[in-house]
């Protein structure tokens, strides 16, 4: 990360001490985690104060951290038991203090005035449904972004004036970007000629047990024997 971003990081850490925590980014984005209770105050200051002037909300998205960092399988040998996504798993994700930290919202900000970008992450309040304050009064662009996160993740944005589904169909049940949403879905849609309309039916796909692909070490993969003449 260049010197300008490091200076920006130090100034933000000093200005919002106790409200934000810097997060390491693998792709070099300046990222801070914001305490949920401080979200609106921090975002308002980032937009209005001359030192920051983050006038634009470029993007907002939800994240489901259930099973974060957990491999579905990690093996180099074959297994006779296989693996099924249908097994029951604990989808909660807790930090070192034992607090639930499953759903988060990520904000990408742009300051045209200073030519700077900033990324914020805020974990939702624990419980179901996950909830967080809306930033629509700070950036109007948050309107459809928050509706999308509500539709796909079930995150409720406190203070949003019109929080309706945006991408899924009328009467859709569930939130398809959650990690516990079935990969095959719950219903399927088809046109019924006898009824003259589209009908919804329980999904007809049969669940399958998934087995990891394993590369076995045998003579077929030995470089020295690959082009060797075959004997009958």
- Per-residue pLDDT of 91-101, as tens digits, reads 555 554 445 78
- pLDDT for the residue numbered 103: 96
Cis check: omega of the bond before 20, within 30 degrees of 0? no
- pLDDT for the residue numbered 97: 45
Of 14-28, 38-52, 163-177, where does the model show the most confidence?
Answer: 38-52
The angle subtended at Cα 187 by Cα 184 and Cα 190, nearest 5°, is 110
Q: Which residues contact 99 (CB under 8 A, 6 or more apart)?
A: 126
Place of tokens 């950036």: 139
| Residue 116 predicted with pLDDT over 70 | yes
Confidence of residue 218 (pLDDT cuts 50, 70, 90): low
156 or 215: which leads in pLDDT: 156
Give burial (CB, 10 Å; 0-12/13-18/19+) of 209. exposed
Residue 164 to residues 103, 144, 147, 155, 196: CA-CA distances in angstroms?
Answer: 19, 9, 6, 11, 29
| Residue 156 predicted with pLDDT over 80 | yes
User: What 3-state class would DSSP assign to 15?
Assistant: helix
| Residue 197 predicted with pLDDT over 50 | yes
Separation between Cα atoms, residue 53 and residue 117, nearest integer Å? 11
Residue ranges in 29-173 assigned as alpha helix (H): 39-48, 142-153
Separation between Cα atoms, residue 56 and residue 108, nearest integer Å? 9
Confidence of residue 135 (pLDDT cuts 50, 70, 90): very high
Give the predicted TM-score (pTM) of the model.
0.76
**How big is the chain by its Cα radius of gyration, in Å?**
24
85 or 14: which leads in pLDDT: 14
- Give the CA-trace dihedral at 62, 159, 168, 178, to 10 degrees: 30
The angle subtended at Cα 19 by Cα 4 and Cα 145, nearest 5°, is 80
- pLDDT for the residue numbered 167: 92
Separation between Cα atoms, residue 153 and residue 145, nearest integer Å? 12
Separation between Cα atoms, residue 137 and residue 146, nearest integer Å? 12
Domains and CATH numbers, the chain: 3-182 (3.30.460.80)
203 or 119: which leads in pLDDT: 119
User: What 3-state class would DSSP assign to 122?
Assistant: strand
- pLDDT for the residue numbered 80: 53
Average pLDDT over residues 64-72: 77
Q: Choose the weakest-confidence range: 10-14, 78-82, 124-128, 159-163.
A: 78-82
């Amino acid at each position: 990360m260049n010197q300008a971003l490091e200076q920006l990081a130090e100034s933000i850490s000093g200005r919002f001490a106790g409200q934000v925590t810097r997060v390491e980014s693998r792709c070099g984005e300046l990222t801070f985690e914001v305490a949920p209770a401080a979200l609106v105050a921090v975002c308002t200051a980032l937009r209005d104060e001359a030192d920051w002037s983050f006038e634009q909300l470029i993007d907002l998205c939800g994240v489901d951290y259930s099973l974060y960092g957990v491999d579905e399988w990690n093996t180099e040998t074959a297994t006779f038991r296989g693996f099924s996504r249908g097994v029951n798993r604990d989808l909660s994700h807790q930090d070192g203090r034992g607090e639930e930290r499953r759903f988060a919202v990520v904000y990408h900000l742009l300051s045209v005035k200073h030519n700077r970008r900033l990324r914020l992450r805020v974990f939702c309040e624990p419980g179901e449904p996950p909830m967080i304050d809306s930033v629509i009064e700070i950036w109007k662009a948050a309107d459809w972004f928050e509706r999308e996160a509500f539709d796909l993740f079930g995150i409720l944005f406190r203070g949003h004036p019109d929080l309706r589904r945006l991408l899924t169909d009328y009467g859709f049940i569930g939130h398809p970007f959650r990690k516990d949403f079935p990969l095959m879905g719950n219903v399927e849609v088809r046109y019924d000629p006898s009824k003259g309309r589209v009908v919804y039916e329980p999904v007809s796909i049969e669940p399958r047990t998934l087995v990891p692909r394993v590369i076995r070490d045998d003579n077929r993969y030995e470089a020295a024997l690959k082009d060797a003449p075959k004997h009958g």
